[in-house]
Amino acid sequence: MTLHREGKATIFIAILLFVVINTISWYFLFTDYPAIFYLLLLVTAVLLFLIFFFFRIPARNLTVDNNAVVAPCDGKVVVIEEVLADEYFNDRRIQVSIFMSPLNVHSNINPVSGEVVYDQYHKGKYLVAWHPKSSTENERHTNVFKSNGNEVLTKQIAGAMAKRIVNYNKVGQQVQQGSEMGFIKFGSRVDLLLPLNAGIKVKIGDITQGGVTVVANW
């Protein structure tokens, strides 16, 4: 397991605060109030561990299949429905939404191999990620991929705690399935918009692994 590059500054600050807080605590509390010192040490150690845990990138055997759409993130499938597309497309599509809790791996994955034909960032609100309007009103970043004669849209959506969306794709770029699309900090959601003829392979409540779980196929 490695740590994501987007976590370098956060991890550095967290380690610095851990050292400063516990050094001061040891100086003022250890002699007269050892129980408080050890409690504070435990709490700050747990918080530091959670920050490392959040930015983890586990080693995985990724799915590579030109006839498949893989999950763009870890999380729980919360929406599978036919919708009228509100961006790029002007027809009806199948929307699959995956909710990411703060404990999930937050690196986002390119779901297919192909060309990036659309790349757009939108400022917006910070509604909770499972709110029905979060797909259209929250801060978000949209990509569309042309792959194997089909077009797939991904939408990285900020949640109530997520305040930063990172996306590495550019229009005209050729990407590989399973390569890194971006990162969202601290709880969020990713939507997929797929053609109506896509064969959906997940159901509501399923737990996905980014780059591994097959969401749909052609």
Instruction: Choose among 154, 157, 142, 155: nearest CA to 188.
Output: 157
Residues 180 and 84 in one domain: yes
Instruction: Choose among 75, 187, 208: nearest CA to 139.
Output: 187
Tell me whether residue 146 is in a domain: yes
Residues 72 and 53 in one domain: no
Tell me whether residue 154 is in a domain: yes
Task: Return the pLDDT at 126.
Answer: 56
Residues 94 and 196 in one domain: yes
Count helices and strands in the chain by DSSP H and E runs? 3, 16
Residues 208 and 132 in one domain: yes
Task: Return the pLDDT at 125.
Answer: 62
Residues 138 and 103 in one domain: yes
Task: Return the pLDDT at 138.
Answer: 76
Catalytic residues: 188
Tell me whether residue 63 is in a domain: no
Is the predicted pLDDT of residue 211 greater than 80, yes or no? yes
Residues 128 and 210 in one domain: yes
Give CA–CA dist 48/54, Å, rounded.
10
Task: Return the pLDDT at 127.
Answer: 60
Residues 176 and 85 in one domain: yes
Residues 144 and 205 in one domain: yes
Residues 182 and 162 in one domain: yes
For the record, the structure tokens of 197 come out as 């003829």
Q: What is the pLDDT of residues 93-106, one digit of tens each?
A: 999 999 998 889 88
Residue 26 structural domain: 2-57
Residues 42 and 97 in one domain: no
Residues 199 and 109 in one domain: yes
Residues 117 and 143 in one domain: yes
For the record, the structure tokens of 162 come out as 């997520």
For 38, half-sphere exposure in the C-beta direction (CA atoms, 13 angstrom radius) is 5
Distances 205 to 30, 74, 77, 81, 119 between C-alpha atoms, Å: 48, 13, 5, 14, 29
Across residues 25-50, what is the average pLDDT? 94
Give CA–CA dist 159/189, Å, rounded.
7
Beta-carbon contacts of 59 under 8 Å, excluding residues fewer than 6 positions away, are 1
